[in-house]
Amino acid sequence: MIAALGIFLVLGKALTMAAALKAEGEWFGKEQERALFSYLWNYFYPAPAWEGESGKEDYRGEGGLTYVEQVRTLTRAEDDPAYRSAKAAEAFFQEHQYLEIYGGEESGGLPGEGIAAGQEVILGKGSSEVSGSAAESGGLERAEESAEQKARTGTADGGGAGNTLAASGLAYPGRQYSLAQLEDYDFLMKTFYSVHTSTTADREVMDVKKLLSRDFRLNKEGQAVGEGAPPQILIYHTHSKEAFADSKEGETIVAVGDYLAECLTERGFSVYHDSSAYDVREGKLDRNKAYTYALEGLTEILEKNPSIQVVIDLHRDGVGANTHLMTEINQKPTAQIMFFNGMSQTPDGPIPYLENPYREDNLSFSLQLQLKASAWYPGLTRKIYLKGLRYNQHLRPCSCLVEVGAQTNTFQEAKNAMEPLADIFSMVLLGK
């Protein structure tokens, strides 16, 4: 009888607390149910007490919280940024279990989710301070010479990389970086990179002297360059159906690739444009294995065309609905671009089945492209994005994934970005 009365009293107290929580607008989910069960269990089967411990009447569970405090903490946890970060990390490690079969999205988020934390968001025309905003406060020298002076002296970006552009009036005064600045690891990462939580980029990997010492000139060993030469550059699209805010029939990222191929051809390169739809199977959009299907197609193309030295995967990013990745180049509204590198490693170490012998070459290539963009087309590029998987960048040392704007850009803005992008490729690949 006494035992039954005790149970009644405890249950009555539990129901009273539940009623109090409900009155305050808080109610039960699975976590709260577990907390209630934990409270009741520990009341009837308490752990051995130690000196100074309070009695059952105000039993405190994990973290020294009463039952009501536990429930409130669980109920309001999602309002805590630290809790959200922990859940994001948990989601990544769940994803990591399936890396071999799931290619993952290449950018900072799925369409509509916005850009990942730490990624610069550019809003509106001419407002870009992407690769140099953080750096400028760190003591960057801004280029003071006019385009004409740069063309005459060849001082832009450490050399005559864009002299012909400057002479034609297509170059824009940008930022120059000293080797001492770039060798500062913290400065380098803050200024040029956004690193996704799925990977790491330590000091040994990001050795600027080594990255900048690589020579990507296509004609350095006497290879034929220009009209009539075998293919040197391959452009393809893992996600061929990516479109833009005002896209009409056929105005997808593939059509943007057509224009990039045209721009590169005008600059003297021989280009192979693969317009295959690797993200479509049996007439339906299917991106689960798009990178696997692309690898099959690319392997065949490269076997037939061993002269290809540069492989460009052209994409369109996905951002929040209110984000417009746009700047102005040569009086044209121009979608901003982002170079992207797969690191083939997680914070736990390399991914054995995604080995990339050209990873450092890929990193070097994107950094050299980024520096040219910063010097000659400030505002064109976002920070280089690093993520954990490989993204088929193991095929050639000059493998490059490029995000052109996002779903909020117009098709014309994306096309306009191909002209300066072709210039940047030309600078690095011809060693100008």
Residues 114-153 have pLDDT tens digits of 333 333 333 323 333 333 333 332 223 333 333 333 333 3
Last residue of a domain, one of 40, 60, 79: 79
- Could you give the C-alpha distances from 354 to 103, 357, 395, in angstroms and in order? 11, 10, 12
385 is a domain residue: yes
174 within 8 A of 377, measured Cβ to Cβ: yes
- Asked if residue 349 and residue 282 are part of one domain, the reply reads yes
pLDDT at 110 over 50: no
pLDDT at 203 over 70: yes
Of the listed ranges 9-13, 159-163, 374-378, the least confidently predicted one is 159-163
Last residue of a domain, one of 79, 94, 123: 79
344 within 8 A of 356, measured Cβ to Cβ: yes
Structure confidence at residue 217 as a pLDDT band (50, 70, 90): very high
Considering 64-73, 176-185, 233-242, the range whose residues carry the highest mean pLDDT is 233-242
160 is a domain residue: no
378 is a domain residue: yes
State the residue for tokens 């224009």: 259
Last residue of a domain, one of 79, 99, 118: 79
- Asked if residue 199 and residue 294 are part of one domain, the reply reads yes
Torsion angle, alpha carbons of 176, 311, 196, 347, to 10: -110
Question: What percent of the chain clears pLDDT 70, i.e. is strictly above it?
Answer: 58
- Asked if residue 132 and residue 35 are part of one domain, the reply reads no
- Asked if residue 183 and residue 65 are part of one domain, the reply reads no
220 within 8 A of 397, measured Cβ to Cβ: no
Structure confidence at residue 41 as a pLDDT band (50, 70, 90): low
The phi and psi torsions of 328 (rounded to 5 degrees) equal -125, 125
279 is a domain residue: yes
Structure confidence at residue 79 as a pLDDT band (50, 70, 90): low
Query: Number of folded domains in the chain?
Result: 2
- Asked if residue 128 and residue 67 are part of one domain, the reply reads no
pLDDT at residue 290, rounded to an integer: 95
63 is a domain residue: yes
357 is a domain residue: yes
Indicate yes or no: pTM above 0.85: no
Taking Cα atoms as reference points, which of 328, 315, 430 lies closest to residue 372? Answer: 430
- Asked if residue 23 and residue 131 are part of one domain, the reply reads no
How are beta strands 310-317 and 233-236 bridged, if at all?
A: parallel
- Asked if residue 411 and residue 306 are part of one domain, the reply reads yes
330 is a domain residue: yes
280 within 8 A of 261, measured Cβ to Cβ: no
For 260-308, write each residue's pLDDT tens digit: 999 999 999 999 999 999 999 888 888 889 999 999 999 999 999 999 9
Q: What sign results for the dihedral spanned by CA atoms 183, 184, 189, 191? A: negative
Taking each helix axis as running N to C, give the angle between helix 67-76 and helix 30-44, from 0 to 180 degrees, rounded to the nearest 10. 160
pLDDT at residue 229, rounded to an integer: 80
Under 8 Å CB-to-CB from 415, ≥6 apart: which residues? 255, 256, 259
What's 267's domain CATH number?
Answer: 3.40.630.40
Whole-number average pLDDT of the chain: 75
- Asked if residue 389 and residue 276 are part of one domain, the reply reads yes
105 is a domain residue: no
- Asked if residue 118 and residue 64 are part of one domain, the reply reads no
- Asked if residue 48 and residue 124 are part of one domain, the reply reads no
Burial (CB count within 10 angstroms: exposed 0-12, middle 13-18, buried 19+), residue 190: middle
pLDDT at 353 over 60: yes
Instruction: Identify the domain containing residue 59 by its residue range.
Output: 2-79
pLDDT at residue 282, rounded to an integer: 86
- Asked if residue 273 and residue 407 are part of one domain, the reply reads yes
- Asked if residue 69 and residue 191 are part of one domain, the reply reads no
The phi and psi torsions of 255 (rounded to 5 degrees) equal -65, -35
